[in-house]
Amino acid sequence: MIRRLDFEELVRAALHEDAPFGDPFGEAVTGTGGGIFLSGAPGVFCGGAVAAEVFRRIDPDVSVSFVEEGRGVLAGERVGEASGALAALLRGERVALNFLQRLSGIATATARYVEKVAPYGTRVLDTRKTTPLYRALEKYAVRVGGGANHRFSLSDGVLIKENGIRAAGGIPEAVAIARRETHHLSRVEVEVESLEEAEAAVRAGADALLLDNMLPETVREAVIRFGETVFLEASGGINLGNVEEYARTGVAAVSIGALTHSAPALDISFEVLP
């Protein structure tokens, strides 16, 4: 689920961006009518509540409905419908479609990764590589696609990455700072690029390791050596072609920035009925 609070201001801003001084043509169209939303490709539908909010803000009398979130759809399938003042439908269609296409694209991409790793019990995680101000929506779409969210923000948990280690003066020093400055329920994760760094992080008291840009055979060795002690996730260079190979190592999770920073939009259109 996602709350209206998470997207209502984005919808308002998007509508202003799309027609800052109104819509001269659309506003001149009179009468009422209806239209349908069609999927142009197979995928996973996501974003119906956001698209509905677009029309609600333009005209609360517009009626909008969509298929359920997370439903697999086929090319040519009707995924929603809207009816009301034609001026409102014309005003909202592009903004509504922008949200639907983006979020459904992320959900679709996530679902493909989840399907690949499902036999191995590996979790598919997102990252903070999100569109500025769209993080709540994009991470929601990952959940709809069957994935799970990594930390939402820097405030949610500690992941000490390469630059943080350098700034602190080393892995032990970085972990010590994290332990000193965070509360007792906060988990400390350390990004490591070798088995030697992984061992150093475990000795320093890390709760989790991000195995960065390691080959599958190295990840497998890390699972053997540290998998019973700390939570392990692999990241970097993982794609649909090799994610199953990583899952076979027994690693608990894979985190994939491409879920949000480069997932292709799902083709969805809106057609006003004659």
Q: Annotated catalytic sites, by residue? A: 94, 129, 161, 191, 212
Cα–Cα distance between 237 and 258 in angstroms, integer?
10
What DSSP state is assigned to residue 77? -
Give me 237's structure tokens: 């260079």
Bridge partners (DSSP) listed for residue 12:
none
Whose tokens are 């803000």? That residue is 57
Give me 110's structure tokens: 């996530």
Cα–Cα distance between 7 and 136 in angstroms, integer?
8
Residues near 134 by Cβ (< 8 Å), separated by ≥ 6?
10, 102
Phi and psi angles of residue 42, each rounded to the nearest 5 degrees, phi first: -70, 145
Bridge partners (DSSP) listed for residue 43:
73
